[in-house]
Structure formats: C-alpha cells, structure tokens
Structure 1
Amino acid sequence: MKTEKIGDASFETWSVDEVATAFDANEVVLIDVRTPQEYMFEHIEGALLMPMAFFNGDKLPGQSDKRIVFHCGSGVRSERVARAAIAAGVTQIAHLDGGFAAWKSAKKPYIGTNMATGAPQATTPE
C-alpha cells in the first residue's frame, strides 16, 4: 500500500490483493464510483455504488468499523473521488490501484452479464 499525506489526511493506494484480502475479511467497504450502466454490466460482488457524478464527500459514513476503499474502471475516477473526500474533511481514505481492470487482470471474481440472457452471473476467471 502506498500512502500519501495530504495535510492531516492519509490518502492510500491499495493493490488488488490488499483490497481482496481486506474485503474478504469484511474489513473494508468497497465503493464503486463508475456509472450505473458500468456497474450493471459488471461489478465486484458486494461493492456499493456511488457514481462520481453524484459524489458528496460530506455524506460519507464514518470509518470506525470499516475503512472505505473506492474503485472505478482504471483508478483515475476513484483517485479523484478519494481526493474530494479528503477535501470534504475525511482524514483517511483509500482507492484501488488500477481499478476494476486490474481486478479482472488479477483474475478476481466478479459479477458479469450473461450475454445470451442479459442476466447477471458470477464470473470466476481462470
């Protein structure tokens, strides 16, 4: 994990394996900041959706029980949202380095769309 100090805040960039381990252990809340359309097509199972276009850092919950980790498609939008959260007064926030593309490249499981039926389906890459 890479950590950058921004004033009193800590901005962390987590690897896919770090996020996957913490998420599986229920230590983090994973928030997807992509569009609803991107999320519906494919997403990490259990990740919450908070599109960047509607992001309001003042409305984020505290992190006393679980840390917040943002992710997007490539890591660009999630970094912007994490920095906006810091600007809103959050003192510790993280994002997934490389985003959902890195998650898929690391062959982590996700929910995709069955192109034959349009229904969601669990995908475990080999």
Structure 2
Amino acid sequence: MSYEKDGIKQIEVEELKELLKSNGEDKVFIDVREPEEYEAAHIPGVPLLPMNNIPFFLEGFKKDKEYVFICRSGNRSQNVSRYLKENGIEKVVNFDGGMLSWDGEKAAGPEHQIKDVNELKEWNK
C-alpha cells in the first residue's frame, strides 16, 4: 500500500512487483545506486542511472512520465525523488526499503546503464 513521506509517494515490494508486471508506458523505473552495487544485483530490465549523475540528466526527464526510483535502502532514491520534484518533475515515486527489501527476481552484471541525456530520452519513449 503506497503512502507519502516528505511529499513523495512511497511504495513497497508488492506494489513495485505489480507496477513492474503492468509496466505501463507512463512509468519509467530507474536504479540510482553505484555501478558496482547494480552489477552485484539488480531488478532485471531496470536501468542504472547513478544518483550523482541525475543533475546532468535533468533535461532528459519528461513531465508526463512517472519515475520510480530504486536504491539500496530507499534513502538515495528518496533524495533523487525530492530533487526532481524540486526541479519540476512532479510524478516521482520512491521504492521504500530498496534492494534490501526486494525479494523478487534479481540479475547480476552490467545489464544497462544510461550514459547520456539522449539515451534517457529514448528510454522515456
């Protein structure tokens, strides 16, 4: 069941699983951890865009999309969500509990890292 914390929508494991299954075109899932964390274990199909790169990618985020951010515990993804909201991207969601609480399928290795703004724009389509 989702709830709000500091003005940011929070979701937990079961809701994230449902969102990933439905994967509507209006939602974009992004892992904001560091590359080595992502390569150790991540949710299959979710790309990596490390938190410290987010400010350089602002123009690539679309106001009509909903962004679901994932990190290790839910703290970094909460900060990313707040930052984007402060910069005009209203539809942000934090996966509270992060990968520490994820009990679904995991993949290892460098599946996909978003490396530039144009790639983020393509991912948003």
**Superposition TM-score, scaled by structure 1 size:** 0.75
Q: Is 1:43 aligned with 2:42?
A: yes
Instruction: Figure out how many residues of one structure are paired with residues of the other and give that number.
Output: 107
1:45 is paired with a residue whose SS is coil
Counterpart CA distance in 2 for 1:76 and 1:47 is 18
Counterpart CA distance in 2 for 1:97 and 1:31 is 14
Counterpart CA distance in 1 for 2:39 and 2:108 is 8
- Bigger radius of gyration: 1
How far did residue 36 of structure 1 move?
A: 0.9
Structure with bigger RCO (C-alpha 8 Å, 6+ apart): 2
How far did residue 59 of structure 1 move?
A: 2.7
How far did residue 89 of structure 1 move?
A: 0.8
Are 1:36 and 1:51, in contact at CA under 8 Å, matched by a contact in 2? yes
More helix by share: 2
Identity of aligned residues (%): 30
Counterpart CA distance in 1 for 2:71 and 2:59 is 19
More strand by share: 1
2:23 to 21, 26, 39: 26
Gaps of 5+ in 2: 112-125
RMSD: 2.2
Gaps of 5+ in 1: 114-118, 121-126
Counterpart CA distance in 1 for 2:15 and 2:34 is 24
Counterpart CA distance in 1 for 2:59 and 2:106 is 27
Q: Is 1:93 aligned with 2:89?
A: no
